[in-house]
Amino acid sequence: MADERLGLVVKAKVTDENDDYFYAQVDGGHTYEIDKLELLKPLKLGGMVTGFAYQNDQHRLQITKNIPDVQKDIYAWGKVVQSRSDLGVFVDIGLYNKDLVVSLDDLPTIKELWPKKGDRLLLSIKEDNKGRLWGQLAQQDIVKAVSRRAHEGAGIKKGDKIKATVYRNKLVGTLVLTDDYCLGFIHPSQREVEPRLGEVVEARVLGVNEHGIVNLSLKLPAYKVMDEDAKFLLLQLRRKPKHFLPFNDKSDPEDIKKQFGFSKSQFKRALGRLYKDRLIEQVEDGIQLTEKGMED
């Protein structure tokens, strides 16, 4: 019968030893081994020892004084070290001879969104009805409890690049937790590819909504992916005091050539790109930079 104290910090009485291990007994009769290589000084027979109780990868009960941050009902970050399609992902929580498994039942149904080696997960330990320990992913209520409300201007401003970890994939978008524990959201329109659960992404701040959640983008600013003519035209508009130019697709080719140095067809292509990205709008007698065009 498994010990219900697995996954917890326990106190045990040292009862025996051999060349490699001390042995300690907790109330209830379960005996645990303690690896002598982990100890800075020997234990005393009959004395008490405090440590983290678990079942190692050889299925033996063990206590370690190197207590991991992840425990039952205590959430912390663990690093993904392996995945198995028939089981789930293995997470390193700091035990040298035991990784915690997050079951495939708790992972996205789309395998491409499973965490990969090097990704990280916010999790605690849960026990099944057979006494086995598994990784318990932090759900929305837990993530919200450990997060803080973002305030634009207080260390967060539009255009900033920040790192964040994906903690949930939803149809409406990707939910992330920033490195300084603010909740973040990535709309599907703001990513080329959906990031994996546990993936650490570098995102650009679009703003902070009324709930204190940071809206993020994984896309490059529009001006970084446009051609040189569109970049030049955008720069011209930004440099003008009123962000206006008295040119449009009906302007004289010679006037366009004199002002910008390129042909009318080049000018129209540049206009089309800026219109498409909503960086400019057509006004009477010319083109005007939009609010987005000034910020991007």
Statement: residue 28 has pLDDT above 80: no
Question: Residue 92 is encoded by which pair of tokens?
Answer: 């390193």
Within a domain: 71: no
In the chain, what percentage of residues exceed pLDDT 90? 67
Residue 2 lies in a domain: no
Exposed/middle/buried for residue 62 (C-beta within 10 Å: 0-12, 13-18, 19+): buried
User: What is d(CA 245, CA 219) in angstroms, rounded to the nearest whole number?
Assistant: 28
Which CATH number fits the domain that encloses residue 15? 2.40.50.330
Do the domain assignments include residue 200?
yes
Backbone phi and psi for residue 158, each to the nearest 5 degrees, phi listed first: -55, 140
Do 163 and 200 belong to one domain? Answer: yes
- The residue out of 114, 138, 162 marking a domain boundary is 138
| Higher-pLDDT residue of 131, 100 | 100
236 in the same domain as 278: yes
State pLDDT tens for residues 50-102.
999 999 999 899 999 999 999 999 999 999 999 999 999 999 999 999 999 99
Residues 227 and 262 in one domain: yes
Kindly tell me if the per-residue pLDDT of 222 is higher than 70. no
**Over the chain, what is the mean pLDDT?**
91
Mean pLDDT of the 147-171 span: 88
More confident residue, 296 or 206: 206
Q: How many structural domains are present in the chain?
A: 4
Give yes or no: residues 291 and 228 share one domain. yes
Judge whether 144 lies within some domain.
no
The pair of structure tokens assigned to 74 is 């205590």
Confidence bin at 112 (pLDDT 50/70/90): very high
pLDDT value of residue 293? 83
pLDDT tier, 223 (very low <50, low <70, confident <90, very high otherwise): low
Q: How far apart are CA 43 and CA 36, in angstroms?
A: 9
Please give the full DSSP string across 194-252, using - where no structure is assigned: PPPTT-EEEEEEEEE-TTSPEEEE-SPPHHHHS-HHHHHHHHHHHHSTTSEES--TTS-
More confident: 48 or 151: 48
Q: Which of 237, 200, 212, 217 is nearest to 158 (CA)?
A: 217
- Pairing of β 61-64 and β 48-55: antiparallel
pLDDT value at position 244?
92
The length of the chain in residues reads 296
Q: Give the pLDDT mean for 207-228.
A: 82
| 208 shares its domain with 233 | no
Q: Indicate which CATH number applies to the domain containing 109.
A: 2.40.50.140
Ranges 18-32, 57-71, 253-267: which has the least confidence: 253-267
Q: Which pLDDT score, from 0 to 100, does residue 231 have? A: 83
Do the domain assignments include residue 69?
no
* pLDDT score, position 277: 84
Residue finishing a domain among 166, 187, 217:
217
Integer Cα distance of 220 and 276 in angstroms:
15
β-pair type (214-217, 183-186): parallel
The DSSP-derived string for 146-160 is H-B---BTTTB-TT-
Banded model confidence at residue 226, pLDDT cuts 50, 70, 90: low
- Domain of residue 30, residue span: 9-64
Residue 194 lies in a domain: yes
Q: Which of 196, 217, 238 is the last residue of a domain?
A: 217
| Tokens representing residue 219 in the block | 């896309």
Q: Is residue 212 part of a domain?
A: yes
Sheet of 286-289, strand order: 244-245, 286-289, 280-283
Q: Are 102 and 83 in contact (CB under 8 A)?
A: no
